[in-house]
Amino acid sequence: KIQLRLKARKQSATAPNTAALATPLLLALQSEPEPRLRMWRRCNKRGRALSFRRQFSTETTFESLLRDMRERTLTAPNRCPPSLLRTVHERFWKLSEDAEKQQFFVEAVKILGVRRDTLAQAQEVLNNVRFSGAESDALEHLEDVMRLRKEMKPLYEEIFEGIAREIPGGCRSVVQMRGEVLRLAGKLRRAASAQAANSREDILALRALRDLDEGMRQLLCTWFSVGNLDLRRLTYETASGAVLEQIARREAVHPIRTLSELKTRLGPGRRCYAFFHPSMPSDPLAFVHVALVPDIARSMEYINRSTGEEELEGRAQCAIFYSITSALPGLHGVELGNVLIKRVVSLLYSDAPRLETFVTLSPMPGLRHWLETTLENDPESEALKEILQPDDAQQLQSLAGKLGLLGFLDGMGATRSSELLLRILQSLDHTALSEARSGENGLVHATIRPILLRLARMYIMKEKKSGSLRALDPVANFHLRNGALVESINWAADPSLQGWKNSYGLMVNYLYELDGIEGRSHAYSIYGDVTVSSSLEQAA
């Protein structure tokens, strides 16, 4: 008996806390089995969780954590322990260096990506299909296809699904993690373009980030499909302070600098609509600013002048979409803006039946960079020769003389119209637009305006991405893909510093004419055809 007691004491001293708790609980099961048993199970579960957190301490490497995730996920799909998900999640967001985050993402692809033996199986199935003969029925291979579809899904997708499911704010966190993937991939691409030779490590890291980006994008496209989104109209009185802060901070087209400007954007004659996801109620995913005005707006000044009073709103016949913003970098490539515009058009139709025209006032963010690059690197291109007419040279010479540039240009040997135009544009700033519009600098208006309008038309209508039918300008590509037509190109429409830096102050009206919108979208998507208004076609 003495030996048995000593042995029991020794076991009690070395047992974990849960075992010590279990002894009195188990003795009491005879009187109240069910409540006591549930209590014992809760304590035991808590003890295992604490033991797990101790097992994966801060010294545990990400590689070990990811490998454990892999084993547990392969053993029981969609059953990765929440404590393990929390550990990985917390550890990731404590990383401060880009190199550490990049290493985590690369390890995730290496350990949780598609396995090599799965690729070999896929190749074997393809070979079987290839050699089975033309008469083979596709249904014969459905089992192989179903099995491969499951196997070809990277395990890291299940991990991100688990984070979104098990961790408070997990959906938002996954969006932010993809934003980090995109940022790091962009950083690697810029470094690669600046160097003649790149290390094998950087090349493999970029491939891993691209794979992870595409997997996360497909996942987010499912989560943020139209049926899962709520469309809300935001007003200064009803929207929360957190939402209003996001709208002001993330506005990309026309920055909001003061509280007064924010109130104006949400006041009479204006509308602001945003998409929200139930898991992220304080984060506008994409939002659009609309002005209700009597006629098509050719400038931001017209919008400011024609809104602000209830009486003016009552006479509105045009809805002007003057700013569309995708608020979260992590949702890049997830189609939100297209659906947002169409939903808002339907909503405005029902709320304000008097509205007859739906049109944008859009920036051309790539115009200046494209023009300066073309004038600098390819001044003798056939496209420029078609645009720059013989009379332009004399007018550019006169303008250069007035601006005091002749001596400088003579020293550089700048005699061609393209060179004169480039140097003149580089010498001007955004104040030249205000002066030209007010008549104080009529020569700038008379000389530069027709040239820039012709160049902008060529940029929107003819310039394509390399090896693609898509428009070079990203905003043009967005609206043309939606089925809009190019209504007009407007001089000095945005005289702000940002407008000058982007496109010398030029802006575009894209008209959403509902008749034929699907046909225009199809023609652009398949053939790259750009539909323009009759007035713009005649001007070209």
Residues 6+ apart with CB under 8 A from 61: none
pLDDT band at 538 (very low <50, low <70, confident <90, very high): confident
Tokens of 272: 């602001």
Cβ-contact 179, 250 below 8 angstroms: no
Q: Is 489 helix (H, G, I), strand (E, B) or coil?
A: strand
Distant-in-sequence, close-in-space partners of 463: CB < 8 Å, separation ≥ 6: 370, 471, 472, 473
Beta strands 507-511; 485-490: pairing state: antiparallel
Do residues 289 and 323 make contact, with C-beta atoms less than 8 angstroms apart? yes
Fold of the domain built from segment(s) 367-539: Aminopeptidase (3.40.630)
Q: Give the pLDDT of residue 540.
A: 60
pLDDT digits (tens, 9 = 90+) for 262-287: 999 999 999 999 999 999 999 999 99
Q: Which fold has domain 62-114+153-223?
A: Butyryl-CoA Dehydrogenase, subunit A; domain 3 (1.20.140)
Joined tokens for residue 495: 């005289």
Alpha-helical (H) ranges within 224-298 are 241-250, 259-265
Name beta bridge partners: 18.
none
SS3 for 486?
Answer: strand
Options 3.40.50.10190, 3.40.720.10, 3.40.30.10, 3.40.630.150; CATH for 227-360 is 3.40.630.150
Are the beta carbons of 323 and 272 closer than 8 angstroms? no
Closest listed residue to residue 458, CA positions, set 433, 476, 484, 432: 476
Kindly report, residue by residue over 305-352, the tens digit of the pLDDT. Answer: 999 888 888 889 999 999 999 999 999 999 899 899 999 999 998 888
| Coil, strand or helix at 88 | helix
Q: For residue 520, count CB atoms less than 10 angstroms from its CB and return exposed for 0-12, middle for 13-18, buried for 19 or more.
A: buried
| CA-closest candidate to residue 517, choices 470, 482, 487 | 482
- Contact status, residue 322 vs residue 380, Cβ threshold 8 Å: no
Better-predicted residue by pLDDT, 519 or 119: 519
pLDDT tens-place string over residues 60-98: 687 888 888 888 777 776 677 888 899 999 999 999 999
Question: Which positions are annotated as active-site residues?
Answer: 362, 479
Residues of the chain within CATH 3.40.630.150 domain(s) are 227-360, 367-539
* Global pTM value: 0.81
Give the pair of three-digit tokens for residue 228.
């899962």
Most confident of 54-58, 155-159, 278-282: 278-282
